[in-house]
Amino acid sequence: MADAQTAQPDIPRRDFLYIATGAFGAVGTAAALWPFINQMNPAANVRALAKTEVDVSAIEEGMAIKTIWQSKPVFVKRLTAAEIAEAEKVDVATLRDKQTVAERMPVKRGWLVNLGVCTHLGCVPLGAGQGEPKGDYGGFFCPCHGSHYDPLGRIRRGPAPLNLEIPPYTFKSDTVIEIG
């Protein structure tokens, strides 16, 4: 009976071994790559965390709540008519980060949704919780280095360069906001 060497007389035994090793190597590499590629597809629970739903039905005018979106604190605040009127009196040209009232509440007038992350070095500002200091402009105050934000989260004094960031969000209904 013919063995592998006699069946393929033109391929020396050493070359045959190289070819066989190469084939196993390719299979091995593909198998090793699969878990790596699979890790690059976010798991269902990670995809779910990409969006956060918040029930805002209990938030009365003048109140705010803190929530978490993608591991970051988010403040959801319902402004009073007086706060909005006061904010509209501010000359936008005088602001460090020039945003109008409408730009700060792009989805629904009266509702502010912004990250609770100071734009200086990332501390969590105070002002969304009951009894917390709101700073000299009645909005949010970052105690780390003294940044003062107004009720619309616009930087007014201190080292922070920008207004508090507004994440993507929509109202799914009158009482539910979806962030993300």
Report if residue 49 touches ligand FES, rule: CB under 6 A.
Answer: no
Catalytic residue among 145, 165, 168, 172: 145
| CA end-to-end span of the chain | 69
Which one, 52 or 119, has the nearer CB to ligand FES? 119
Report if residue 154 touches ligand FES, rule: CB under 6 A.
Answer: no
> Site for ligand FES (CB under 6 A): which residue of 74, 118, 177, 179?
118
Which one, 52 or 163, has the nearer CB to ligand FES? 163
How many binding residues for ligand FES (CB under 6 A)? 13
Measured CA to CA, the distance from residue 127 to residue 137 in angstroms comes to 11
Q: How large is the C-alpha radius of gyration of the chain? A: 29
- The minimum distance between CB 37 and ligand FES, in angstroms, equals 38
Report if residue 151 touches ligand FES, rule: CB under 6 A.
Answer: no
Let me know if 148 is a catalytic residue: no
> Site for ligand FES (CB under 6 A): which residue of 147, 155, 163, 179?
147
Report if residue 145 touches ligand FES, rule: CB under 6 A.
Answer: yes
Backbone angles phi, psi at 45, to 5 degrees: -65, -30
Report if residue 120 touches ligand FES, rule: CB under 6 A.
Answer: yes
Q: What angle do CA 66, 69, 70 make, to 5 degrees?
A: 145
Q: Give the residue numbers annotated as catalytic, written as ranges.
A: 145
> Which residues contribute to the site for ligand FES (CB under 6 A)?
118, 120-123, 142, 144-147, 158-160
